[in-house]
């Protein structure tokens, strides 16, 4: 059985992961409406991945004899200005999620809950990957600048990244 403060913190992370899924889904819808099919596919895949992160937490909380709680979610933005601004928001959101995971790890260490600490190491590693990916995408966007041809190539290339990511996700334990 999880200690109350750890259960509360894990349930908060469940909400954050669910909101992350919604944020990426909203970004996917916006990108698709802008004709950015590759970006949209990438965001749809990211949304699915965040939902899987949430479900992994739900199962863990319940398996530990506690109660995973599904709560109301904050509605995500539906407009993003430019695709660059959208990816800047994605990067900032990943930093927020990383900070939240780090706080959760800190709580588990304070409570000497080494099983949960060990479980969360997957999330720590995942966030390193998510931040790096978002930063790499932003770097590419900055290289493109205002070049419309570059945007076309970026949209096509990110679709390949989306396909690679979904295949890599299936291979993860």
Residue pLDDT, tens place only, 157-170:
887 765 554 444 45
CA pair distance 28, 45, nearest whole angstrom: 9
Alpha-carbon distances of 168 from 49, 88, 125, rounded to whole Å: 11, 24, 14
CB 84 within 8 A of CB 96: no
Q: Where are the domains of the chain?
A: 4-171
Residue pLDDT, tens place only, 102-139:
999 999 999 999 999 999 999 999 999 999 999 999 99
CB 78 within 8 A of CB 29: yes
Alpha-carbon distances of 25 from 68, 73, 140, 150, rounded to whole Å: 23, 13, 22, 24
Alpha-carbon distances of 149 from 35, 78, 139, rounded to whole Å: 14, 26, 17
The burial class, CB within 10 Å (0-12 / 13-18 / 19+), for 126 is: middle
Q: How confident is the model at residue 59 (pLDDT cuts 50, 70, 90)?
A: very high
Which of 12, 16, 6, 5 is CA-nearest to residue 130? 16
What's the whole-model pTM score? 0.88
Which of 90, 79, 83, 77 is CA-nearest to residue 36? 83
Q: What is the CATH number of domain 4-171?
A: 1.20.1260.10
- C-alpha R_g of the chain: 17
């Amino acid at each position: 059985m999880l200690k109350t403060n750890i259960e509360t913190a894990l349930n908060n992370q469940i909400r954050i992961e669910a909101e992350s899924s919604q944020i990426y889904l909203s970004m996917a819808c916006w990108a698709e409406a802008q004709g950015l099919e590759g970006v949209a596919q990438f965001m749809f895949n990211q949304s699915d991945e965040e939902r899987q992160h949430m479900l992994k937490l739900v199962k863990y909380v319940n398996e530990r004899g506690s109660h995973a709680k599904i709560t109301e979610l904050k509605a995500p933005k539906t407009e993003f200005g430019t695709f660059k601004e959208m990816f800047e928001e994605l990067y900032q959101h990943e930093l927020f999620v990383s900070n939240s995971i780090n706080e959760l790890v800190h709580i588990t260490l304070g409570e000497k809950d080494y099983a949960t600490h060990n479980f969360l190491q997957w999330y720590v590693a995942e966030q390193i990957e998510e931040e790096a990916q978002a930063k790499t995408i932003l770097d590419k966007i900055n290289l493109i600048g205002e070049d419309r041809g570059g945007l076309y190539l970026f949209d096509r290339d990110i679709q390949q990244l989306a396909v690679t990511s979904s295949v890599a996700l299936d291979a993860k334990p």
